[in-house]
Amino acid sequence: MDSIAHIDWPIRVSANAYASCQQDTSQEIAANIAVLFSFQRATRIEQPDFGITDPTFAQMPVDTTDLERQAARYEPRADLDVSLTTEGDGAQQVRVAVRVATIQEGDL
């Protein structure tokens, strides 16, 4: 494993420095996914396709394929487990678990 540090997400100060996480760890990959999902698509001028379409006012059930597609494009090291649950009041909750994807020998 490399000893290359990246700023952790959410950004915070720890011991007079920004908190960091090591490159190629599950913590860094999960932070990258959190950043990706924090941006609404078209809000970054330099990369307008980065982010997700805000599902807040989307018709139910919420389509989670956008999350999976964007994660595969921008963080291929992530293996997502996306689940959608409906609450008693009709509200929906999307839960995303992130794991490090297993690299197959043919993928190299």
Number of domains into which the chain is organized: 1
pTM over 0.95: no
Residue 87's CATH number: 3.10.450
80 CB burial (10 A radius; 0-12, 13-18, 19+) = middle
- Domain with 101, as residue range(s), is 5-107
Which amino acid makes up residue 80?
Answer: L
Tens digits of residue pLDDT in 41-65: 999 999 999 999 887 777 777 788 8
Block residue for tokens 């597609």: 69
Q: Which residues contact 1 (CB under 8 A, 6 or more apart)?
A: 22, 23, 24, 25
Alpha helices, DSSP H, located in the chain: 26-38, 65-74
Tell me: pLDDT of 79 over 60: yes
Tens digits of residue pLDDT in 4-38: 888 888 888 988 999 888 988 888 999 999 999 99
